[in-house]
Structure 1
Amino acid sequence: MTAAETGAGSTTDSAPPAAKLTLVTLTAMVVGSMVGAGVFSLPSRFAQETGVAGALIAWAVAGLGMLMLAFVFQTLAVRRPDLDAGVYAYAKAGFGEYLGFFSAFGYWASACVGNVTYWVLIMSTIGAIAPALGDGDTLLAVALSSVGLWGFFLLIRRGVKEAAAINRIVTVAKVVPILVFVILALFYFDASVFADNWAGADYAGSLFNQVRGTMLATVFVFLGVEGASVYSRHAKRREDVGRATILGFLSVFAVFASVTIVSYGILPMAEIAELRQPSMAGVLEAAVGTWGQVFVSVGLIVSVLGAYLAWTLMAAEVLFVAAKDKDMPRFLSRASSADVPQPALLMTTLLSQVVLVVTLFSDDAFNFALDLTSALSLIPFLLAAAFAVKVARAPAGDPAVAGRSTRGELVVAALATLYTAFLLYAAGLKFVLVSFILYAPATFLFVKARREQNRRPFSPGEAALCAVSIAGAVLGVVALAVGWIEL
């Protein structure tokens, strides 16, 4: 569901009352946003980095860190009920318009790049029986993915209500094959294989490096935990936003961790690491035969198409709301007579198309898109967590903040901030620089929005931040050109 479905109006600023979402619908939005391509790639992604011990630690760290972030979104929904569109609105309120713009753009860009992983994984899945598609990164695969990309664009243009109805059905359908995988893997679980995988393989390195290597994968699969927050202005009851966030997170966390751990009881770690994506299909094939691979592959396609729909809608919502708040150019606030924010939807599809073409030049298209998606989301998450620290420290009686601050609230916000800062470190310089290559040119949109309001393009502080982003982008381009970093 986008802003258009919920009453964004047409091409004017007037709008009918927004449709209201229940707790069940908001929870389904969180689950639907989180369960997508990532879960089907977890066995191989983890086995490339760590064994059972490292995986357990990694999920404990990621689970605790993301739970703190989930609590942050829950708290902010209640303490700052005036802020809508979640991540973007929190960054703007806490740290100014330019960083708020960066947060909106980064969150939107991460959704667009994440959408590319869905098409790569679909083509890789079909590539198991159609070698011309390779691992989803051949010219034919990109061409077919592009057809799908624009097909969904046309579907959503017809009317968002139809798309939202499809999303509700798919959210239920996609969870079933994942649960079946876990049950069957437990039935065929080999304790001796699991024990051999405990410490990890020779290539895994130190335990710290093993855990660090899994962090971007865990960020990717947890993207969407903020889904209810993005739609906070549409909730029937404000407190349902936080409840939906926690319920959705805990449900999905249990499933994701289970998929990873049970896989270590089916095949040796080195063999899991070499499986083509979706590696969950290869694991189940080893346990029950060819039908297991087919079963997971069909489930993956249903899951991925549903997640793609959810993220396309969410990305358009962020651009649309930012434009309504005059932090993006005015043209992005327009909606069609069918209540679809077409300019925002078109920009979302265009960026996904560009990244899809870039995958042709990547050594590992799926993992490149996955890691870049995670890296782009980290700055918006870090700013939201840091804003929660500011809210927790707000003096009593602050008219902008509802309720009273508690020590527990401050501790949760601080832990969430530390966790997201650690994730930036775990991502490494490569993906930070590649992120700047996207962030810096986007400043053109910020400048255009300011000029539409007859305002100065930058304040002195914003000009300094712009200079840093441009310097990072230049360094990133140079690093790519001379081979310091590779896609």
Structure 2
Amino acid sequence: MSESAAGAVAAAAGRTRLLSLPMLVAMVVGSMVGAGVFSLPSTFAEATGVYGALIAWAIAGGGMLLMALIFERLSKARPDLDSGIFAYAKAGFGPYVGFFSAFGYWAGACVANVTYWVLISSTLGAVVPALGEGDTFVALALGSAGIWIFHVVIARGIDTAAAINTITTIAKLVPLGLFLLVIAFAGFSWETFTDNLWASPTHSVGELADEVRATMLVTVFVFLGVEGASVFSRYARRREDVGRATVTGFLGVLALFVAVTMLSYGVLPREELASLRQPSAAGVIEAAVGPWGGWMVGIGLLISVLGAYLAWTLLGAEVLFAAATGDDAPRALTRVNRAGVPITALTATSGLTQVFLVLAFFSEDAFDFSLELTSAITILPYLLTAAFAMKLAFGGGRRAGALALAAGAFVYTCYLVYAMGLQYVLIALIVYAPATLMYLRARRERGLTVFTRLEAVLCIAVTVGAAIGIWALATGRLGF
């Protein structure tokens, strides 16, 4: 088995393949604090005001805290499952569902990478107008070149991942810390904040509920990576550190996200916040202290995003490689090069990222499309993890507390499915349906039974859903 991104991180940390608690916490924080946090002011202001944002973060924070606690419990209850979030789906519901979970996580990583290139182009577009807001042909060319340049770099082998992760995590947190300090002490206006309490002039509770729902895909996107320590659990120095790192990292990041969102409402009127170009955090601090603030956030974002792109590309390749070594994806994806990199899985990851970048270019809003699609695709692995935790709770001791925790997480993930709406459910099915061909090939290569009866029914349902989605796109009933 090749040395994956996680293996490289551990190897760099003393060549022992053991991760300490601080390194696991850094992995959780580094995975979650990426491009999304820099977009929060505008993205939230488009949907709601202060009250709606507080409710949204309460729901999202509470729901994801339940998921963090689920990962903590599962790391102890099933220490044999070392492949992370997708391993739970396979253990609980069979290889076909497990493969869907792995595929969704992999595809989500590829779409998330698109947001990085869109934000890079949009940030540089402030000084290079040809890049626009990441939605021009020049931006598409820049993003495409970046995908394959990084592909070549990664294919040569990465043995300094621990140092890279530390540097990029600092690069993310320093400008964000300065952002919070500057806004809190120099740019915040209580009068502006109170003017932004409501998004709707009618102060309707019903409208407020719709506004909160509209923010859910954004919160899912920014919380992606909460399972980071779980994915790399086999490299933990102590098993109990996995759960501690997950909860500690999550609480710190939640506080950061809430602070960035809420303080921004005290700088500009909601309508102006909503109209800021991405990364909107740069526009907020520029409005407070002048152009130097925007440059500071922009430079921090560029470093952060490039590091995050490297990490998520490695993670995407690792997920696909793990699925192949687990007999659930074609054998070709197990191939590694001389540098120990899963080269076929890496090529597939870069290729799918390229496809999604082109699709995002033809959408009405490249950043919003890639952000929301990432969330829609990756909700399934979280839903299946919560369902697996419920299954374990029903079958184990001390059922009441474990079942309540699992049920709460399951209800939250079901709400996320409702929140994303039929449009993104169908689009997600369009992405998922072709994955069955990979699964069929993998099972036949190994002479294994392809489907059980229930898996066959699931395959038919996904295929029908994807067909409906394609029909809706072709007839204009569904757009993005």
Change (3 A) 1:5 1:106: closer
Change (3 A) 1:204 1:157: farther
Query: Does the Cα contact within 8 Å between 1:7 and 1:339 map onto a contact in 2?
Result: no
**5 Å matches for 1:161-200?**
161-187=159-185, 188-200=187-199
Deviation at 1:97, TM superposition (A): 0.9
**5 Å matches for 1:78-97?**
78-97=76-95
Deviation at 1:395, TM superposition (A): 3.5
Q: TM-score, normalised by structure 2?
A: 0.95
Deviation at 1:164, TM superposition (A): 4.2
1:122-152, Cα deviation, whole Å (9 max, x unpaired): 1011111211111101111011111111111
Change (3 A) 1:243 1:445: same
**5 Å matches for 1:148-159?**
148-159=146-157
1:186-216, Cα deviation, whole Å (9 max, x unpaired): 1121000000001224499711011111110
Change (3 A) 1:33 1:268: same
- Tell me, yes or no, if structure 1 residue 370 matches structure 2 residue 371: yes
SS of the residue corresponding to residue 90 of structure 1 reads: helix
1:257-300, Cα deviation, whole Å (9 max, x unpaired): 00000000000001100111111111111100111111111111
Measured in 2, the distance between the counterparts of 1:3 and 1:202 equals 56
Deviation at 1:360, TM superposition (A): 1.8
Q: Which moved more, 1:203-212 or 1:317-326?
A: 203-212
**Residue 484 (structure 1) aligns with:** 477
Change (3 A) 1:204 1:376: farther
SS of the residue corresponding to residue 434 of structure 2 reads: helix
**Residue 228 (structure 1) aligns with:** 229
**Residue 390 (structure 1) aligns with:** 391
Query: Does the Cα contact within 8 Å between 2:5 and 2:314 map onto a contact in 1?
Result: no
Q: Which moved more, 1:310-319 or 1:430-439?
A: 310-319
Select the residue among 72, 75, 90 that pairs with 1:74.
72
Deviation at 1:463, TM superposition (A): 1.1
Measured in 2, the distance between the counterparts of 1:201 and 1:286 equals 24
**5 Å matches for 1:333-482?**
333-396=334-397, 405-482=398-475
**Residue 282 (structure 2) aligns with:** 281
Deviation at 1:374, TM superposition (A): 0.4
Q: In structure 1, give the amino acid aligned to 2:212.
A: V
Deviation at 1:7, TM superposition (A): 6.0
1:147-188, Cα deviation, whole Å (9 max, x unpaired): 111111111111121344322221122110011111111112
Change (3 A) 1:167 1:262: same
Measured in 2, the distance between the counterparts of 1:87 and 1:363 equals 32
**5 Å matches for 1:192-271?**
192-202=191-201, 206-271=207-272
Change (3 A) 1:5 1:212: closer
Query: Does the Cα contact within 8 Å between 1:167 and 1:309 map onto a contact in 2?
Result: no
Q: Which moved more, 1:303-312 or 1:188-197?
A: 303-312
Deviation at 1:4, TM superposition (A): 2.8
1:412-457, Cα deviation, whole Å (9 max, x unpaired): 1110000000000000011111111111011111001100111232
Measured in 2, the distance between the counterparts of 1:344 and 1:203 equals 52
Q: In structure 2, give the amino acid aligned to 1:112.
A: C
- Tell me, yes or no, if structure 1 residue 4 matches structure 2 residue 4: yes
Q: Extract unaligned runs of 5+ from structure 1.
A: 9-16, 397-404
Q: TM-score, normalised by structure 1?
A: 0.94
Q: Extract unaligned runs of 5+ from structure 2.
A: 9-14
Q: In structure 2, give the amino acid aligned to 1:29.
A: M
CA RMSD of aligned residues (A): 1.6
Change (3 A) 1:237 1:192: same
**Residue 109 (structure 2) aligns with:** 111
- Tell me, yes or no, if structure 1 residue 327 matches structure 2 residue 324: no
Measured in 1, the distance between the counterparts of 2:337 and 2:161 equals 15
SS of the residue corresponding to residue 48 of structure 1 reads: helix
Deviation at 1:76, TM superposition (A): 0.3
Measured in 2, the distance between the counterparts of 1:197 and 1:5 equals 43
Q: In structure 2, give the amino acid aligned to 1:312.
A: T
Query: Does the Cα contact within 8 Å between 2:72 and 2:243 map onto a contact in 1?
Result: yes
Q: How many residues align?
A: 470
Measured in 1, the distance between the counterparts of 2:148 and 2:23 equals 27
